[in-house]
Amino acid sequence: MSRPIIALTIGDPNGIGPELAVKAAAAPGESGPRPVLVGDPDVLYHYAKQCAPEYSLRAFSHGAPARAGVIDMLPVEALPRDAFAPGRIEAAAGRASVQYVEAALNLVRAGHAAAIVACPHNETAVNAAGIAFSGYPELIAQLCGLPQGRVFLMLVGGGLRIVHATLHERLHAALARLTPQLVEAAGLACVDALQSLGIESPRIGLFGVNPHAGEGGLFGDDDERISIPAAKLLRARGIDAAGPAGADVILGEKGFDAFIAMYHDQGHIAVKLLAGRTASALSIGAGVLFSTVGHGSAFDIAGQNRADPEAVLRTLALLAGVRARA
């Protein structure tokens, strides 16, 4: 089986992302995915010299075989040289991190990569560039021409996969936005992503909106209106969907490939408690698997060759069985 090619974007070039990308690409291993680094060549050469001096960089060419001691890169000239300042928040760096993602998406659309892994970005820098940004699912939806709220986050770690029907928004607004159709869309995106990862017939569990999934209306009618109809819609499509049930109960049950959370903290607390900074975050529903790591850009140690690539390596391993789209 050939190694899938993964586009690995360097994230904010002034954070630890470029260092992580180079270290991950230089990590030993012949059986995992083959990363192609996506970012400014000057930044990549800087970190290759610092973190992997025994490796050389070459421009990626589709069809060219992997070579020992060589790191492939897709050069993206996005960052002005005077804006490259490890540890400093720069609007130009925020804009560049988005341009890297666009270039990686084009690589996938061309059939030259199977998925994307993004090293840490910085939301302050991206917004300083005048780009409205509250997370990668919204950005991927925009870049793919999809409606907002139809690209979902799957958080992976600690033995769990949890898709979030709503994400970064006021809890009151998230609950008001929940509908059976939105939860169904999250479930469909979840199943599609799992099948892309090689799980042919996944079983998913739905969290209830309220404690005990409403206890038959005792704790509100939200589940009668939203999560119960959503589960029926998914089952009508032939999907093995259990629940809804209280998140605290169904999370303890075995045999599920993934869960659907109704809002941010329902899913994040469980995964972050078990996986900490080694969690991975997949944006799903856009027809391309896009994953990030579960930690930030760590400006305080940027440029110091102290960053640990473990989360990036785990995220790449997560996509080891990904199938490229036709």
Q: Do 90 and 5 lie in a common domain?
A: yes
pLDDT over 90 at 280, yes or no: no
Q: Do 296 and 260 lie in a common domain?
A: no
CATH of the domain at 172: 3.40.718.10
Calculated CA dihedral for residues 84, 88, 93, 98, nearest 10 degrees: 140
Q: Do 10 and 125 lie in a common domain?
A: yes
What percentage of the chain carries pLDDT values higher than 90?
Answer: 72
Residue with the larger pLDDT of the pair 187 and 29: 187
Identify the pLDDT of residue 144. 85
Q: Do 145 and 156 lie in a common domain?
A: no
- pTM comes to 0.82
Q: Do 60 and 135 lie in a common domain?
A: yes
Q: Do 208 and 226 lie in a common domain?
A: yes
- Residue 302, judged by CB atoms within 10 A of its CB (0-12, 13-18, 19+), counts as buried
Q: For 145-171, write each residue's pLDDT tens digit.
A: 888 778 999 999 899 999 999 988 899
Count of structural domains, the chain: 2
Q: For 202-240, write each residue's pLDDT tens digit.
A: 999 999 999 998 888 888 899 999 999 999 999 999 999
Q: Do 12 and 133 lie in a common domain?
A: yes
Q: Do 216 and 270 lie in a common domain?
A: yes
Q: Do 231 and 242 lie in a common domain?
A: yes
What percentage of the chain carries pLDDT values higher than 70?
Answer: 96
pLDDT over 90 at 105, yes or no: yes
Domain of residue 314, residue span: 1-149+286-326
Identify the pLDDT of residue 326. 39
Cα 273 to Cα 93: distance, rounded to the nearest angstrom: 31
Q: Do 213 and 249 lie in a common domain?
A: yes
pLDDT over 70 at 58, yes or no: yes
Q: Do 175 and 224 lie in a common domain?
A: yes
